[in-house]
Amino acid sequence: MTRLLVPAFTALCLLMMLAACETTTSGGAVGGDRKQLMLVSSQQVEQMGAEAYAKLLADSSRKGVLNRDSAMLQRVRAVASRIEPQTGVFRPDAPGWKWEVNLLSSDELNAFCMPGGKIMFYTGLINHLNLTDNEIAIVMGHEISHALREHSREQVSQSMAAQGVIGLGAALLGLGQGSADLAGTGYQALIATRFSRTDEAEADRIGLELTARAGYDPRAGVTLWKKMIAANSGGHPPEFLSSHPAEASRVQQIEALLPTVMPLYQAALGRR
């Protein structure tokens, strides 16, 4: 790049970053409309997510660990189908996403929802913590909220901004590479993600509202996190917990929100 072009390029980058601050969601009752830096499109991240998810499904199916427990699969799909229509409160496009829910037989205490609504639950989480449907709904609402808020897209954008926009963007999205590479990159960027404390707190808040609106008891948020804390004290912090720090402050945030979300739960019960 010539010397003359450098300031122009820098200005262009700044302009892109200014133009790129947006919010993915409306606030709902709990507030979920913080402005975010977005340098990559939803479509690009969703494509990356869809490829990574398809690869995980194919690999798991080959290993014979996909959707083996049909009763449990039915439970998680039933919970998801009640929460999905409620996502419209936060973003009108979300109920129309190509939602997918699958179950992986694994001892891992894990669950995730990729951008665009691709959900995976791990049997270990439900079995080891003996989760009720209400508690499954809390986990589901939390994971779906990461997708609604596009936290992965924000994280990819922040790395791009930190490392000089365009080159890394192309690398992250695997442009010019084969689809196997794209899926691999997508897995790293989207599934193995460590979200920030801000992201986790947002997902807890929005998730709690989704859960309540779907007619699941939001008080299960308290019992769920207590089970998580107990599981964590065994000395082997599971994957799910290392990315979801189970602090007492988290339980406190949920308890503080109960007066806001309990009426939504009562109203949902009245409609059922």
Name which of residues 26 to 85 contact Zn ion (CB under 5 A). Answer: none
Task: Give me the least distance between CB of 142 and Zn ion, in Å please.
Answer: 6
- Taking the least distance from each CB to Zn ion, the nearer of 17 and 241 is 241
CA 196 to CA 48: how far, in whole Å? 21
CA distance 182 to 123: 27
CB of 143 to Zn ion, least distance (A): 7
If the CB atoms of residues 63 and 197 are measured against Zn ion, the closer one turns out to be 197
In angstroms, what is the minimal distance from the CB of 253 to Zn ion?
13
Q: Minimum Å distance from CB 147 to Zn ion?
A: 11
What distance in Å separates the CA atoms of residue 123 and residue 109, rounded to the nearest whole number? Answer: 8
Give whichever of 32 and 169 is closer to Zn ion, judged by the CB atom. Answer: 32
Report the nearest approach of Zn ion to the CB of residue 145 (Å): 8
Is residue 42 within 8 A of residue 150, CB to CB? The reply is yes
Is residue 138 part of the contact set for Zn ion (CB under 5 A)?
A: no
- Residue 111 binding Zn ion, by CB under 5 A: no
Nearer to Zn ion (CB atom), residue 100 or residue 200: 200
**Binding residues for Zn ion restricted to 182-211, rule: CB under 5 A:** 200, 203
Give the residue with the Cβ less far from Zn ion, 103 or 113.
113
Nearer Cβ to Zn ion (119/173): 119
Least gap, CB of 204 to Zn ion (angstroms)? 8
Q: CA–CA separation, 83 vs 147, rounded Å?
A: 13
203 vs 228, beta carbon nearer Zn ion: 203
Residue nearest to Zn ion (CB): 203
Q: Does 222 bind Zn ion (CB under 5 A)?
A: no
CB of 13 to Zn ion, least distance (A): 30
HSE-up (13 A, CA, CB side) for residue 209 = 20
Please give the size of the binding site for Zn ion, defined by CB under 5 A: 2
Given the rule CB under 5 A, which residues bind Zn ion?
Answer: 200, 203
